[in-house]
C-alpha cells in the first residue's frame, strides 16, 4: 500500500513527505502522535482570535536562498525583523547586547570608551561571545564582559539550563554574544520573516498533495512492532522505507536509557489592551521564573483586534510523563547523553529501512532552516538507498 | 489491530467513534477524506482572526435533553437564539414570517385584520405552512398566503432547489411557515446555542480519547477494496466492523447511478467595519443570486475585533468534480433518487460488517441533533450485532 512511512509531522517529516509525494510521485503515510500537524511550529488562533505559536515564538531566518525559495513555494511572507529587549536593572535594553545597549546602560564617557575599545580590539560589526570577551587583556573590557555575563547571561542561562554556564555546550553559549554594532535586530540573516498566513497554513500547503495521508493522534509504537529486525506495521511486515523523526530512545523502548532534554511550560495570557510591550519578545534574565514574555501581535502583524495574547515561558526539566514538562525542547548535549545517543544510533543501523531525520531523531538543536536543509539532504540519501 | 473503522469524521462518525472508545473501551480508526475533522460543522479562525463556519452557518438547537446533555460533556455553551431577517420590498423583515412581519409590511388596519383572522382560523402560536394557508376559504388570508408565497418563498425556493416549489419534497417546504406569534426567533427549541469555543474545539473534545486514531486526507477507497464480499483494508482482510458515513454511491463506484444533491458555493468576505448587518443571517429571497448573507460575529459572540467576516451562499447543482460544487449539502429527495438509493441499500446488506450512519450514508436531511440521536442509536445497533 504505502512504500513510505514518515513518523512525525514536524518540519523534517513534512519536508521529506513533500519530496516523496511531489518528486518521487509516491504515496506516503505520515504518522503523528499529536492531534495536529506542524510539530513545534504549529500556530493557531486562540479563543480570542489572536494568532499564537503554541510551542513558543518561531521566527524564520536564513541565509540559505535555496531553503527560502523552497518554502516560498508554499507561503508568501510577511517581512519581519525580530527585535528583543532585555529587562535589566529596571530598564529595557536591546538584546543581543550591542553598542546601543552600552549607550543605554552607561554614562556617556564610559560608553564611548567601551565602544572605542571594542571596535579597536575586535572590529566593527563583529559578534564576540562574552566568555571570549572575558579573556581580553584590557581591564575595562573585562569589566564590561563581567557586567554582561552577570546581568544578561548568567541568570538567564541558569534559568534556562539549570546548570552553571560553563557546563553548557559551547554551541549554546555562542548564541549570547556582544554585537559590536548599532544593529538592534536579533538576527542578521538575509532572509527573515513570518509565513503570511501563519506556519500551520504553510505546513498545510506543504502537505497539499493527495499522495500524502496523515494519521493523527497515533503513536508509531501503537501501529508498529519490531520482529527479528523486521518492522511490522498494521500487523503486516513492512517492506517500504520509514523516515523516523521522533525520539530515538522512545523508539527502542529506552533500552540504553533516556536522553536528557530541557522542556518549557507555556503560559498564555489574553490581555484586554492593544499591546502589552513594545516588541515581540522581552527577556527577563534576572527577574521572575520565566525567561521571556512574547507578544505575538508584534511578529504576526495582526492588527484588527482590541486585545493581545502574551506567552510566558518557564524552563522545566523534561519529563515525558508530566504535563507541562513533556515537550522535549532543547537536548542537553553533555557527554553522558551523547554516549547514550550513540548507542541508539548503532542500534538503529541494524534496521536498513529506517532513516533518521530532524531535531529529535538526530538529538541536535537545529534552527528551522537547518532542519529543512537537513531533511532535503536526507531525502536525497533516501533516494540513493 | 483495529476492531472498528469509522469512515468520515462528521458528527455521525465522531459520535459513534466516541462511544466505541469510551463505552466499549476499544480502539477505533477514523478515516476522513478532508484535511480536518468535524465534517460540515468545522469552524476555524480566518486570516483576520474571525471565527467562521467553513461550510455555512450552524446553530445548534434541540428539544432533546439527552442530546443536549450528551454534547454538554464536551463543550460549554454560549446562549444564543438565532434570528433571521429577510430583505423584501426594500425592507428587512423578520423571518419566519410572523405577526411582527405583518405589522412591518402592511398598513395598520390591514395588518390588524390579517392578524385577527390568522389567530381566529389557526390559533395563536401556531406555525402554518404557507401552501396550507393558501387553501383557506378567506380571500384576504389567501391574498396574504399569495404575498408570502411570492415574496418570501417562491424565489428563495427556486434559487435553492432550481425547480418550482411544488416539485420540492414537503418536508423541505414545511420549513417555511407563517408563525402566528410575536416570537421573532428562527427556532423555538428548548435548547439552543453555540459551542462556547466553537464546533471544532467541541469535536476535538469528543475525539479526545487516545483510543481514537484519525487518518486525514484519506479516501476510504484508497485504503480498502472489496474482494468477494470481503473487505480488505491496508491489503489485509478486515474482520472488524466498519461504520460508513460517506456517500453510498461513491462506496459502490456509482454502479446504480449518482445520487442527486444540491451544493453551495461559499463566498467569504472580510469587511473592515464593526458590523455588516444587525443579525446573524439576512435572507435575500428576491434579489441577487445568493440566498443569504451570514455575519458570524453575531452568532459566535466574538467582540474583540475591528473587522467582520460575512458569508454569501450561492446554491449550485452538485458536481463532485467541480470545485465550488463538490460539497453534497442537501439531498434531492425525488422518486428517481430514492430508487437509486434503495438499490445501494440492498447492495450494502450483502456486507454484514458495514453499518451506515449520517446524512450522506442515509441520504437524508438531518439537523445536527437528529444526526447525533441517530448515531447513538446506530451505536446501540452496532453493539447488538
Residue whose C-alpha is closest to residue A259's, from A315, A342, A321, A157: A342
Q: In the structure, how many helices (H) and strands (E) does chain B have?
A: 15, 23
Residue whose C-alpha is closest to residue A309's, from A299, A319, A320, A323: A299
Distance CA(A92)–CA(B282), nearest Å, equals 51
Nearest by CB to A236, from B45, B47, B236: name it. B236
Q: Give the distance from residue B55's alpha carbon to the nearest chain A alpha carbon, in angstroms.
A: 18
> What is the tens place of the pLDDT at every residue in B187-234?
999 999 999 999 999 999 999 999 999 999 999 999 998 877 778 898
More confident residue, B352 or B3: B3
- Say what the pLDDT of residue B309 is: 98
> Cα dist. B102→A28, A67, B84, B87 in Å?
61, 65, 15, 14
The average pLDDT across B8-20 equals: 98
Q: Give the distance from residue A217's alpha carbon to the nearest chain B alpha carbon, in angstroms.
A: 5
Distance CA(B193)–CA(B300), nearest Å, equals 9
> What is the tens place of the pLDDT at every residue in A42-91?
999 999 999 999 999 999 999 999 999 999 999 999 999 999 999 999 99
Burial class (CB in 10 A: 0-12, 13-18, 19+), B385: exposed
- Say what the pLDDT of residue B170 is: 67
Distance CA(A169)–CA(A163), nearest Å, equals 11
CATH 3.40.50.720 is the classification of domain B4-37+207-260+332-384: yes
Rounded to two decimals, the pTM is 0.92
Scan residues 220-239 of A and list those with Cβ closer than 8 Å to B: 222-223, 234-236
- Distance between start and end Cα atoms, chain A: 20
Residue B136 has pLDDT above 80, yes or no: yes
The average pLDDT across B286-290 equals: 96
The average pLDDT across B142-159 equals: 91
Distance CA(B136)–CA(A84), nearest Å, equals 76
Residue B237 has pLDDT above 90, yes or no: no
The DSSP bridge partners found for residue B5 are B29, B242
Contact A284, A290 (CB under 8 A): yes
Cα dihedral B124, B125, B128, B130 sign? positive
Residue whose C-alpha is closest to residue A173's, from A186, A185, A161: A161
Interface size, chain A vs chain B, as Cβ–Cβ contacts under 8 Å: 84
Residue A171 has pLDDT above 70, yes or no: no
- Say what the pLDDT of residue A175 is: 63
Rg, chain B, Cα only? 22
Scan residues 326-365 of B and list those with Cβ closer than 8 Å to A: none
- Say what the pLDDT of residue B171 is: 65
Residue from A272, A304, A307 to probe the interface with B (highest B Cβ count within 10 Å)? A304
Distance CA(B370)–CA(B381), nearest Å, equals 16
Residue A237 has pLDDT above 90, yes or no: no
Scan residues 236-275 of A and list those with Cβ closer than 8 Å to B: 236, 272
Distance CA(B88)–CA(B285), nearest Å, equals 7
Residue B147 has pLDDT above 80, yes or no: yes
The average pLDDT across B48-77 equals: 97
Residue A165 has pLDDT above 80, yes or no: no
Contacts of B328 (CB under 8 A, 6+ apart): B247, B259, B261, B263, B318, B320, B360
The average pLDDT across A184-195 equals: 96
> Residue B69: in which H helix or E strand, if any?
helix B65-72
- Say what the pLDDT of residue B296 is: 98
Residue A385 has pLDDT above 90, yes or no: no
Q: Say what the ipTM of the complex is.
A: 0.88
The average pLDDT across A149-165 equals: 87
Q: Give the distance from residue A345's alpha carbon to the nearest chain B alpha carbon, in angstroms.
A: 29
Q: Do B217 and A222 touch (CB under 8 A)?
A: no
Distance CA(B156)–CA(B289), nearest Å, equals 10
What is the full DSSP assignment across B103-168? HHHS-HHHHHHHHHHHHHHH-TT-EEEHHHHTTSS-HHHHHHHHHHIIIIIIHHHHHHHSS-GGGS
Measured from the Cβ of residue B96, the count of other Cβ atoms closer than 10 Å reads 22
pLDDT band at residue A174 under the 50/70/90 scheme = low
Pull the grid cell for residue B377: 442509536
- Of the listed ranges A277-281, B116-120, B152-156, B284-288, the least confidently predicted one is B152-156
Q: Is B134 on the interface with A (CB under 8 A)?
A: no
- Say what the pLDDT of residue B174 is: 61
Sequence ranges of chain B with CATH classification 3.40.50.720: 4-37+207-260+332-384
List chain B residues with CB under 8 Å of A213: 215-218, 222-223
Q: Give the distance from residue B194's alpha carbon to the nearest chain A alpha carbon, in angstroms.
A: 14
Average pLDDT, chain B: 94
Amino acid at each position: 500500500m504505502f512504500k513510505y512511512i514518515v513518523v512525525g509531522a514536524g518540519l523534517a517529516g513534512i519536508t521529506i513527505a513533500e519530496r516523496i509525494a511531489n518528486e518521487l510521485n509516491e504515496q506516503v503515510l505520515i504518522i503523528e502522535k499529536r492531534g495536529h500537524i506542524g510539530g513545534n511550529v504549529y500556530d493557531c488562533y486562540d479563543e480570542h482570535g489572536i494568532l499564537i505559536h503554541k510551542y513558543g515564538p518561531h521566527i524564520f531566518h536564513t541565509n540559505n536562498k535555496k531553503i527560502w525559495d523552497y518554502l516560498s513555494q508554499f507561503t508568501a511572507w510577511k517581512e519581519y525583523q525580530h527585535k528583543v529587549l532585555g529587562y535589566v536593572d529596571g530598564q529595557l535594553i536591546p538584546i543581543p547586547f550591542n553598542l546601543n545597549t552600552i549607550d543605554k546602560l552607561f554614562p556617556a564617557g564610559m560608553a564611548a570608551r567601551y565602544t572605542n575599545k571594542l571596535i579597536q580590539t575586535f572590529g566593527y560589526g563583529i559578534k564576540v561571545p562574552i566568555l571570549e570577551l572575558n579573556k581580553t587583556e584590557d581591564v575595562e573590557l573585562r569589566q564590561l564582559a563581567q557586567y554582561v555575563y552577570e546581568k544578561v547571561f548568567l541568570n538567564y542561562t541558569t534559568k534556562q539550563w539549570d546548570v552553571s554556564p560553563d557546563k553548557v555546550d559551547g554551541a549554546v553559549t555562542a548564541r549570547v554574544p556582544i554585537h559590536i554594532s548599532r544593529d538592534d535586530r536579533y538576527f542578521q540573516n538575509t532572509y527573515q520573516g513570518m509565513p503570511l498566513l501563519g506556519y500551520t497554513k504553510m505546513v498545510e500547503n506543504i502537505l497539499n498533495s493527495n499522495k500524502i495521508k496523515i494519521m493523527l493522534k497515533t503513536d508509531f509504537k501503537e501501529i508498529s512492532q519490531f520482529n527479528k529486525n523486521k518492522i511490522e506495521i498494521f500487523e503486516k511486515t513492512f517492506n517500504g522505507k520509514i523516515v523516523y523523526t521522533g525520539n530515538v530512545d522512545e523508539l527502542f523502548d529506552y533500552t540504553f536509557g533516556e536522553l536528557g532534554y530541557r522542556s518549557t511550560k507555556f503560559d498564555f495570557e489574553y490581555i484586554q489592551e492593544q499591546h502589552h510591550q513594545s516588541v515581540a519578545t522581552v527577556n527577563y534574565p534576572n527577574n521572575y521564573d520565566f525567561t521571556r514574555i512574547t507578544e505575538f501581535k508584534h511578529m504576526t502583524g495582526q492588527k484588527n483586534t482590541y486585545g493581545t495574547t502574551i506567552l510566558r515561558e518557564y524552563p522545566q526539566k523534561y519529563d515525558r510523563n508530566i504535563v507541562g514538562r513533556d515537550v522535549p525542547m532543547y537536548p542537553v548535549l553533555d557527554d553522558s547523553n551523547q554516549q547514550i545517543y550513540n548507542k541508539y544510533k548503532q542500534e538503529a543501523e541494524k534496521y536498513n529501512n529506517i532513516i533518521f531525520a530532524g531535531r529529535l531523531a538526530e538529538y541536535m538543536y537545529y534552527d528551522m532552516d537547518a532542519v529543512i536543509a537537513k531533511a532535503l539532504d536526507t531525502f536525497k540519501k533516501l533516494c540513493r538507498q
